[in-house]
Amino acid sequence: MGKTKQLAKELGFVRRRRISSHPTQGFQVQNSDNSGGNVANQTFDYVIVIDFESTCWEEAKLNSYQEIIEFPAVLLNMTTGRIESEFHHYVQPLENPILSEFCRSFTGISQKFYERRPNGLSNAMLDLGLEFSGRQHSGLDDARNTARLAWKMKQDGCPLIITKSLNTGS
């Protein structure tokens, strides 16, 4: 087993789940693109692919740590090979909030992006191409805008699920 896969297993990022019609044997799925290739004993139906970008400098900067500045993820369907969903968010670095010229050039991320971004609900709405309506932090306006955001997410294929339950039995 490769070092990366072993480390992923140790960190709990990989869980083995047999996909089969019989408990002791896997099955093969014909690729939907008619390429003729088979996918045997696939452990997962979907894989999330993440590629963080972080602060960077042309030369090492003393007493500085790299901070995540971009958090993208795509959901890959392991049966069809299609990207089913995407997530993308820029993160304002705290230790070095001004990106180096090298970092801006290397990643293509503009400093102006961070300067113009509002926080909270309006930020999430802008990320999905929606404009906030009403007065921010008005309970009713926030509820209306959250409903619009939830509807847009549903239309974009994002499943709305319970992420935490107050019921301790579940």
* Identified catalytic residue from 10, 22, 131, 137: 137
The SS3 of residue 77 is: strand
Q: If DSSP states are collapsed to H, E and C, what string results for 95-158?
A: CCCCCCHHHHHHHCCCHHHHHHCCCCHHHHHHHCCCCCCCCCCCHHHHHHHHHHHHHHHHHCCC
Please indicate whether residue 10 is annotated as part of the active site. no
- Of the candidates 53, 67, 88, 115, the residue annotated as catalytic is 53
The number of residues in the chain equals 170
Phi-psi region of 165 (alpha: psi -120 to 50; beta: other; left: phi over 0): beta
Question: What does the block give as tokens for 152?
Answer: 């847009």
Catalytic residue flag (residue 53):
yes
The catalytic residues are 53, 137
